Amino acid sequence: MRAVLFLTVVLGLVTFAGAQDQQTEIKHTTAAPTSPASGKQMFMAYCASCHGKDAKGDGPAASALKLAPADLTALASKNGGKYPAAKVTSVLSGQANLAAHGNKEMPVWGPIFFRISQGHESEVQMRIANLNHYIESLQAK
Ligand code: HEC
C-alpha cells in the first residue's frame, strides 16, 4: 500500500467551473519517466505543478494546497546568499521534516526516484544533484 502511494505524484489537475464557484482538484498520476541528466526536465515534470514553471511557488496545483509551495528562487537569499544544496537534498530524499513533503498527499521524492531509476542508487543521486543544479541556476540575484 505504501509503495503504491509513493508511486503516485501530483501532476494532473482537473478544474470544475461551476456557476459560482471554481474548484481545483488535484489528481494523482504516475510519475512520468524523465532523464536523470536533465534537472530542467525533472523539474518541469515533478515540481512545476506546485512550485510553478519559474519555481516561484505559483504552480497550477498551488491553490488546492493548504500550504503554499515555497518560492524556490529565494532559497539562496533566505540562506544568506548561499544556495542550500544539502537542505534541498534532504527535502527530496525525505530527511527534512517539511509538512508538505512527505505526508500522504504530498510526495517524498526519494522513493519515487528510486523506483524510476529501477533501484539504482547512483542514478537517484544523479537526479537529486541535477535537480539541485537546475534550481541553483534559478536563484534570484
Ligand atoms: C504537491 C505539491 C508539491 C510538489 C509536486 C513539490 N513540492 Fe516542494 N513544496 C511544496 C510545498 C507546499 C512546500 C512548502 C512546505 C513546507 O513549508 O512545509 C514545498 C517546499 C519545498 C522545499 C523547501 C523550501 C524551503 O524554503 O525550505 C523544497 C527545496 C522543495 N519544495 C523542492 C521541491 C522539488 C525539487 C520538487 C520536485 C522534485 C517539489 N518540491 C515538488 C509542494 C510541492
Q: Is the CB of 46 within 6 Å of ligand 1? A: yes
Written as one letter, the residue type at 31 is A
Structural domains in the chain (count): 1
pLDDT of residue 118 exceeding 50: yes
pLDDT of residue 44: 95
The pTM score is 0.83
Residues 10-46: tens digit of each pLDDT? 444 555 544 445 567 777 777 788 999 999 999 999 9
Domain that holds residue 128: 2-137
Residues 68-104: tens digit of each pLDDT? 889 999 999 999 999 999 999 988 887 776 666 655 4
Closest residue by Cα to atom 25, ligand 1, is 70
Write the DSSP assignment of 25-68 as a string of letters: EEEEEEPPP--TT-HHHHHHHHTHHHH-TTSSS--TTGGG-SSP
